[in-house]
Structures are given as structure tokens and as C-alpha cells.
């Protein structure tokens, strides 16, 4: 399985935070499902200097970049216009158990 790092920044318009909060539970449930299938490794929210949510970061395992892109196409934070800018890079995560 390939490993990927995702950093996504939210839209900055007046309704952006409300859109994030409105679809947060479906977003988190999707991540829980990805975790159960072995695709989600870790992640969380990106905060600005005032502690306001402005984006997300996460690590994933997928067989291919295309598989990750297929997941991303149906991810609520994409379909509901929460994430405006998404950067995805293939990475090699450190495994401290080895």
C-alpha cells in the first residue's frame, strides 16, 4: 500500500466555518470507516494562531493514488465546499515499532 499525506485548507468566505460544522459528523464517520478498512492512519484539524479551524491534515494508505482520488471525490469536505485547496503527497511514514 502506498502512503499519502493530505493537507487541506478551508474556504475563507463568511459561510465556510458553518459548512465545515454542518458536515463534520459525516466527514468523521467516513474517516472511521477508512480506519476500519486500514486506509486512514492519522489526522486532525489545522488551526490558525487564534485556535480557529482553518483546514485538515491526514495520513492515508491506499493501493493507488487513483483510489485516494476516488475517496476524495465523495468526501463531504470536498462535496460540501469546505476544503478549497488540497495538497496530496506520497510519503513514507516512520514506523516506531520496527
Of 14, 76, 84, nearest in space to 46 by CA: 84
Contacts of 63 (CB under 8 A, 6+ apart): 1, 2
Contacts of 6 (CB under 8 A, 6+ apart): 43, 56, 57, 58, 59, 60, 86, 87, 88
Does residue 45 register a pLDDT over 90? yes
Does residue 84 register a pLDDT over 90? yes
User: Global pTM?
Assistant: 0.92
Average pLDDT in the 27-35 region?
97
> Could you read off the pLDDT of 3-30 as tens digits, one per residue?
999 999 999 999 999 999 999 999 999 9
Does residue 68 register a pLDDT over 90? yes
Reported confidence tier of residue 95, pLDDT bands at 50, 70, 90 = confident
Amino acid at each position: 500500500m502506498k502512503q499519502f499525506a493530505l493537507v487541506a485548507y478551508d474556504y475563507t468566505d463568511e459561510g465556510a466555518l458553518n459548512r465545515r460544522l454542518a458536515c463534520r459528523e459525516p466527514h468523521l464517520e467516513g474517516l472511521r470507516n477508512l480506519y476500519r478498512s486500514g486506509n486512514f492512519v492519522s489526522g486532525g484539524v489545522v488551526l490558525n494562531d487564534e485556535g480557529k479551524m482553518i483546514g485538515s491534515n491526514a495520513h492515508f494508505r491506499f493501493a493507488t493514488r487513483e483510489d485516494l482520488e476516488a475517496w476524495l471525490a465523495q468526501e463531504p469536505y470536498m462535496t460540501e465546499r469546505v476544503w478549497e485547496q488540497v495538497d496530496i503527497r506520497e510519503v513514507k511514514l516512520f514506523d516506531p515499532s520496527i
